[in-house]
Amino acid sequence: MSLDRSLIADVRSLSDPELRRLVILAQDLLERRGAGRVPEGAKVTYRREEVRCGKANCTRCPHGPYWYAYWREDGRLRSRYLGSAKAGRSPGDTKPAADTGEVHLPPPPPTSVEH
C-alpha cells in the first residue's frame, strides 16, 4: 500500500508540535493493533517523572510530570510514554502511590480500534 502524495505533503508541512502529536497518535494506533504490546504476564511499573528537554537556554526545566510504563523484555528494560500526569491523571485509572510515584499494575487489556 502506498501513501497518497497529498497526505505526504500535508505531513511534511506540519509544525514540530503537530508532528509530535501525529507520532503519538500513530504509536497509539499501532499499540492498539498489537504492535509494541507489553508481553503478557510482564510486570509493568508505572512512574511519574519529570524530564529535561535538553535545550541549553530552557528556563522551565524540568518539564512534566509525565507517566511512563517500564517492563523487562528479552533481558532489556523497555519503556513507553503514556501521557501527562497533571490534573490528577493516572495510568489505568489507578491512583499513584503518593510517596514514590510508582504503581504496579498488570498490562492493560487490548483495545479494539474501529475502522
Q: What is the pLDDT of residues 57-89, one digit of tens each?
A: 999 999 999 988 899 888 889 888 888 887 666
Whether residue 55 sits in one domain with residue 88: yes
Burial class (CB in 10 A: 0-12, 13-18, 19+), 89: middle
Indicate if 78 and 45 belong to the same structural domain.
Answer: yes
Per residue of the chain (115 residues), give pLDDT as tens.
Answer: 688 899 999 999 999 999 989 988 888 887 777 655 677 788 999 999 999 998 999 999 999 999 888 998 888 898 888 888 876 666 654 444 443 444 444 455 444 444 4
Q: Same structural domain for residues 69 and 31? A: no
The confidence score (pLDDT) of residue 30 equals: 76
Instruction: Find the domain containing 18 and state its range.
Output: 1-37
Q: Are residues 61 and 49 in the same domain?
A: yes
Give one DSSP letter per residue of 28-70, joined into a string.
Answer: HHHHHTTTTPPPTT--EEEEEEEE----TT-SSPSEEEEEEEE
Residue 50 inside a domain? The answer is yes
For residue 31, being part of any structural domain is answered with yes
Same domain, 24 and 76: no
